[in-house]
Amino acid sequence: MKALVKVAQGPGLELTDVADPMAGPGEVVLRVLRTGICGTDLHIESWDDWAARTIRPPLVVGHEFVGEVVEVGPGVSRVSIGDIASGEGHLICGTCRNCKAGRRHLCANTRGVGVHVAGAFAEYAVLPELNTWVHTYDVDLDVAAIFDPFGNAVHTALAFPVFGEDVLITGAGPIGLMAAAVAKHAGARHVVITDVSEHRLDLARKIGVDLALDVSQRRIADIYAELAMSEGFDVGMEMSGQPAALRDMIANMTHGGRIAMLGLPAEEIAVDWSSVVLKMLTVKGIYGREMFETWYAMSVLLQAGLDLSPVITHRFGYRDHRAAFDTARSGRCGKVILDWTAEG
């Protein structure tokens, strides 16, 4: 089969032929239909310090995908040939304390599809049955391909109750945009999203946020009056990983406010912890998705009419992967999709 492979240490990916996967006990093979390009894939392609420490070539990359089940291994009972399914990319051990307690998203021994084991940027992919989320209703394949990052957005957006609350989201990347859509759908009073990219802020307006704010031009505190706010935001979602964004968020939270933090900082962040203490703020780290409560919530949200189509801005055939990666890296895009049923 054709697959996009990190063949050796160093920048770049190569579209090459690799052996078709086979389903072992408890596993399924999917014919990949669509994949989404993630920031992790960009790190691997460019071969930054994180990739050099983490990736062991040769490796088929990619972890955001949807496919059709074409083979099931011995012991598989809940997944059938012909099912359309998305993949949960975190492979858990099943034996650590958290796994045994049902907190599988906190598994201490998690391995990543497309990071530690063969991924889904290929014509076929193999996955444990446990990690196979079967869609029991019609779902747009492009949306089904990004259930992984959509799950990150839902996990963050629903970490704290948002109904009737004023919500601040820092970072209008694809996950921030999806979190904004979820917060609005869940009944937030105001959803404000910040960034310095006018292109991404325009996507946020299409999502339906109450205010998309360029923080290089205006301060967050300056918009209180036009939103009839007086005491700051009730819920914050930090998606950018930028030090200034977290500091701005803390400064603009109301007393007793709650912050869900998904963005991974590239450097240490100096924080005014006296504000956290004196305002009695809650800061909660978010990683991945709750397996599988978040997946259930995602499906229900889509069935209830949540529209993610503005987030998906570009689609490429798999042979055009270089153009797809260049587009994703440019930042002038939302989510970029690779179609594995079309060469170009």
Residues 159 and 279 grouped into a single domain: yes
Alpha helices in 214-272 (DSSP H): 243-251
Does residue 84 register a pLDDT over 90? yes
What average pLDDT does range 157-167 have in this prediction? 98
Distance CA 339, CA 319 (A): 9
* Residues 177, 203 contacting (CB under 8 angstroms): yes
Structural domain contains residue 327: yes
What average pLDDT does range 184-192 have in this prediction? 98
Give the number of other CB atoms < 10 A from CB of residue 71. Answer: 17
Residues 9 and 141 grouped into a single domain: yes
Does residue 10 register a pLDDT over 90? yes
Q: What is the pLDDT of residue 247?
A: 97
Residues 256 and 220 grouped into a single domain: yes
- The CA-atom distances, in angstroms, between 93 and each of 60, 73, 147, 170, 325 are 21, 19, 22, 33, 32
Residues 175 and 66 grouped into a single domain: no
Distance CA 215, CA 223 (A): 11
* Residues 151, 182 contacting (CB under 8 angstroms): no
Residues 330 and 203 grouped into a single domain: no
Structural domain contains residue 297: no
Distance CA 23, CA 50 (A): 31
Handedness of CA 80, 82, 83, 84 (dihedral sign): positive
**CATH at 40:** 3.90.180.10
Q: What is the pLDDT of residue 103?
A: 95
Spatial CA neighbour of 266 closest among 99, 91, 43? 43
Residues 225 and 167 grouped into a single domain: yes
pLDDT category at 20 given cuts 50, 70, 90 is: very high
Domain residues for 209?
Answer: 153-285
Indicate the pTM of the whole model. 0.96
pLDDT category at 296 given cuts 50, 70, 90 is: very high
- The residues, ordered by sequence, that sit 6+ positions from 111 with a Cβ below 8 Å of its Cβ are 90, 91, 117
Structural domain contains residue 290: no
Residue type, 271: V
Catalytic (active-site) positions: 40, 43
Distance CA 333, CA 37 (A): 11
Report the relative pairing of strands 190-195 and 211-214 from DSSP bridges: parallel
Structural domain contains residue 247: yes
Structural domain contains residue 295: no
Q: What is the pLDDT of residue 189?
A: 98
| Domain count across the chain | 2
Spatial CA neighbour of 208 closest among 225, 234, 188? 188
Residue range 114-134, pLDDT digits in tens? 999 999 999 999 999 999 999
Strand partners, 166: 190
Q: Strand locations in the chain, DSSP E?
A: 2-6, 14-17, 27-36, 59-60, 64-72, 84-87, 90-91, 111-112, 124-128, 132-134, 166-170, 190-195, 211-214, 233-238, 253-261, 282-285, 312-317, 335-339
Residue range 226-240, pLDDT digits in tens? 999 989 999 999 999
In the block, tokens 């996950």 appear at 175
Residues 198 and 258 grouped into a single domain: yes
Residues 135 and 191 grouped into a single domain: no
Average pLDDT, rounded, for the chain: 97
What average pLDDT does range 184-201 have in this prediction? 97
Q: Is 170 left (phi over 0), alpha (psi -120 to 50) or beta?
A: beta
Q: What is the pLDDT of residue 344?
A: 80
Q: What is the pLDDT of residue 137?
A: 93
* Residues 318, 336 contacting (CB under 8 angstroms): no
What average pLDDT does range 178-190 have in this prediction? 98
Provide the percentage of residues in the chain whose pLDDT is more than 90.
Answer: 97
Residue range 96-113, pLDDT digits in tens? 999 999 999 999 999 999
Q: What is the pLDDT of residue 77?
A: 96
Residues 89 and 195 grouped into a single domain: no
Strand partners, 194: 170, 213
**CATH at 157:** 3.40.50.720
Q: What is the pLDDT of residue 266?
A: 81
Residues 171 and 75 grouped into a single domain: no
* Residues 224, 275 contacting (CB under 8 angstroms): no
Residues 118 and 220 grouped into a single domain: no
Structural domain contains residue 73: yes
Handedness of CA 120, 122, 127, 133 (dihedral sign): positive
Residues 278 and 326 grouped into a single domain: no
pLDDT category at 343 given cuts 50, 70, 90 is: confident
Distance CA 257, CA 325 (A): 38
Q: Strand locations in 102-245, DSSP E?
A: 111-112, 124-128, 132-134, 166-170, 190-195, 211-214, 233-238
Residue range 244-295, pLDDT digits in tens? 999 999 999 999 999 999 999 988 999 999 999 999 999 999 999 999 999 9
Structural domain contains residue 214: yes
Structural domain contains residue 301: no
Provide the percentage of residues in the chain whose pLDDT is more than 70.
Answer: 100
Q: Which of helix, strand or coil describes residue 331?
A: coil
